[in-house]
A and B are shown apart, each in its own frame.
Chain A
Amino acid sequence: AQSVTQLGSHVSVSEGALVLLRCNYSSSVPPYLFWYVQYPNQGLQLLLKYTSAATLVKGINGFEAEFKKSETSFHLTKPSAHMSDAAEYFCAVTGSSNTGKLIFGQGTTLQVKP
């Protein structure tokens, strides 16, 4: 069975500072991992995904994430935060089955201060 833990329900950074959102997963099969972003009153948009190719994955809006099997982690980073990055971020995991249901973490709200 798969599970996801996002450390920190709220993260606050200053504009221009490094963004680090933490995600740890548990999976009994080789995982596929995803990060999604949700802006207010909208659905979730895909930021990036890991599907067993390169361990460093680049996504949209300057975000990237590194898959570390030894640490069972898939942390999301961005070198320099923008005000527009303020949103809720979700990490998700799925196994390799074709039904493909995703298990989501609890979410992390990113606040960006001017």
Chain B
Amino acid sequence: DVKVTQSSRYLVKRTGEKVFLECVQDMDHENMFWYRQDPGLGLRLIYFSYDVKMKEKGDIPEGYSVSREKKERFSLILESASTNQTSMYLCASRGGGNSPLHFGNGTRLTVT
């Protein structure tokens, strides 16, 4: 079974802090994704990566950046956290073709 692991389940940070959310997958998937989930808005794609050191903006990249130095790890960075970034963050990975997304358990981030 594919395992996608997010380093923290719950995180509380202060406004202006730099925040790192880490995600690791163990299935050698090329594609990795960061979504945020908010009530009534479903899942919105922040960034994705289809190879090491490659990244593409999703639908809501503002205020975020990403890093993919190794195939199994995809990091989401909030350069200067703001209260409107309080949300559930979900990492996912996917192989090629029509294979489905595999999700981690999520990180619930609160910015105060």
Number of contacting residues on B, CB 8 A? 29
Interface residues on chain A, size class = 20 to 34
- Any A CB within 8 A of the CB of B45: yes
The dominant DSSP class at the B interface is strand
Max chain A C-beta neighbours (<10 A), residue from B4, B42, B97: B42
Chain B hits for A104, CB < 8 A: 35, 42-44
User: Are A43 and B43 CB-contacts (below 8 A) given A49-B100, A99-B31?
Assistant: no
Chain B hits for A46, CB < 8 A: 100-102
B40 in contact with A43 (CB, 8 Å): no
Complex: A23 Cα to B9 Cα, angstroms: 30
B-binding residues in A (CB < 8 A): 6, 9, 32, 34, 36, 41-46, 49, 51, 90, 92, 96, 98-107
